[in-house]
């Protein structure tokens, strides 16, 4: 049965770990003959702008032996020129995977329901799982992804936070969200993450209180794609929800700073911190490539035989 990657929820922790192991293996070994997408094509639908997600998927698909077909949302006209069902069914006849970035998460769910091929969520208003996989990989590489790691998100309870909460339902860490009133994460996702009982999860309003002794400080834009008309209200609401030198001082000395990018210097983060010695935003962005490949390879049956550190023959197997 085909498997989609729309959110972390349907996956077991071991499956997510397996995707990360594949990603880490590919980054380390740069295998030239590992081509799980040979003779395959991937349709890339983007109804919102993108730099990292678009390019890392295009390059990752090529490196795995496949080809991509880029489809700007305006060209297809989902729900205007074409029904969701027709888009999903027709693309399934030509391609082997659909990657889609769009607004409503229900569009991605409906595409996945009608498609006979795997569908990957490249960002919706609700979730951004590919980014959070790259973030998890970055923290694993840095040795900062343990039950005691205090990860503090400062700002909007948006798609990034919702995916972090889904990760916290699977992998243990201490997750603190500092968001202004009215900008909390999705209540159902928050509830599921808290009830999973895997991670300690807190929501506070005060960024300074949240940042105290943080191991990781994370932020994202105040105005996400599609919210441009709310800019004035959001700029006011998020005043003070900024990662800057004063906030960083409250954290652990070796705290790392993360941002999914694109960043707005002087809004959610200052330029000195974004580009400072504690920032890991560029390794995060680089890992997008390795993680897209790990997800694509996993959905095509590739598995590391065991945890990377333990393997004797370090080639993936196919199931």
Q: Return the one option of ligand NVA, ligand CP, none that residue 287 interacts with (CB less than 5 to 8 A, by type).
A: none
User: Binding of ligand CP at residue 287 (CB under 6 A)?
Assistant: no
Residue nearest ligand NVA, Cβ-based: 224
User: Binding of ligand CP at residue 59 (CB under 6 A)?
Assistant: no
Check if 265 is active-site: no
Considering only residues 127 through 156, tell me which ones interact with ligand NVA, judged by CB under 6 A: 128
Which of the residues 21, 52, 101, 110 is marked catalytic? 101
DSSP state of 36: T
Check if 32 is active-site: no
Q: Return the one option of ligand NVA, ligand CP, none that residue 160 interacts with (CB less than 5 to 8 A, by type).
A: ligand NVA
Give the Cβ contact number of residue 55 at 10 Å.
Answer: 14
- Of 50, 106, 212, 278, the residue at the interface with ligand CP (CB under 6 A) is 50
Q: Which tokens hold the place of 283?
A: 């390794």
Q: Where are the alpha helices (DSSP H) in 154-280?
A: 159-168, 187-196, 207-211, 231-237, 245-250, 271-274
Instruction: Express the helix, strand and coil content of the chain in percent, nearest 5 each.
Output: 40, 15, 40
Q: Measured between alpha carbons, how far is 199 from 192 in angstroms, rounded to an integer?
A: 11
142 versus 225: smaller Cβ distance to ligand NVA: 225
Which strands sit side by side in the sheet containing 119-121, from one edge to the other? 67-72, 41-46, 97-101, 119-121
Distance of CA 182 to the CA centre of its chain: 23
Check if 288 is active-site: yes
Q: Measured between alpha carbons, how far is 177 from 191 in angstroms, rounded to an integer?
A: 14
- Of 76, 260, 269, 280, the residue at the interface with ligand CP (CB under 6 A) is 260
Q: Return the one option of ligand CP, ligand NVA, none that residue 158 interacts with (CB less than 5 to 8 A, by type).
A: ligand NVA
Q: Which spans of this chain sit near ligand NVA (rule: CB under 6 A)? A: 123, 128, 158-160, 220-221, 224-225, 260
Q: Which spans of this chain sit near ligand CP (rule: CB under 6 A)? A: 50-53, 123, 131, 260-262
Give me the active site residues, please.
101, 128, 131, 220, 260, 288
């Amino acid at each position: 049965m085909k498997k989609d990657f729309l959110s972390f929820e349907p996956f077991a922790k071991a499956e997510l770990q397996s995707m990360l192991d594949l990603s880490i293996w590919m980054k380390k070994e740069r295998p030239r003959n590992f081509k799980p997408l040979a003779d395959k094509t991937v349709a890339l639908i983007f109804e919102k702008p993108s730099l990292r997600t678009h390019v890392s998927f295009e390059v990752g698909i090529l490196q795995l032996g496949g080809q991509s077909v880029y489809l700007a949302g305006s060209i297809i006209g989902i729900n205007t020129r074409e029904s969701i069902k027709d888009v999903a069914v027709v693309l399934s006849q030509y391609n082997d995977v659909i990657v889609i970035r769009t607004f409503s998460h229900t569009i991605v769910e409906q595409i996945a329901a009608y498609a006979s091929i795997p569908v990957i969520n490249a960002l919706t208003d609700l979730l951004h799982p590919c980014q959070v996989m790259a973030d998890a990989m970055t923290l694993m590489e840095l040795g900062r992804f343990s039950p005691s790691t205090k990860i503090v998100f400062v700002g909007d309870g948006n798609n990034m936070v919702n995916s972090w909460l889904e990760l916290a339902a699977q992998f243990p860490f201490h997750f603190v969200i500092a968001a202004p009133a009215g900008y909390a994460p999705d209540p159902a996702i928050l509830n599921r993450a808290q009830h999973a009982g895997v991670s300690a999860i807190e929501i506070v309003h005060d960024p300074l209180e949240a940042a105290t002794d943080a191991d990781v400080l994370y932020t994202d834009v105040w105005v996400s794609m599609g919210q441009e008309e709310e800019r004035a209200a959001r700029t006011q609401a998020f005043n003070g929800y900024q990662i800057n030198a004063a906030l960083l001082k409250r954290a652990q000395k070796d705290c790392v700073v993360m941002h999914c990018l694109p960043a707005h210097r002087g809004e959610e983060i200052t330029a000195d911190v974004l580009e400072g010695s504690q920032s890991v935003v560029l390794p995060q962005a680089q890992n997008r490539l390795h993680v897209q490949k790990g997800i694509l390879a996993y959905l095509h049956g590739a598995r590391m035989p065991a945890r990377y550190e333990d393997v004797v023959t370090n080639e993936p197997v196919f199931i």
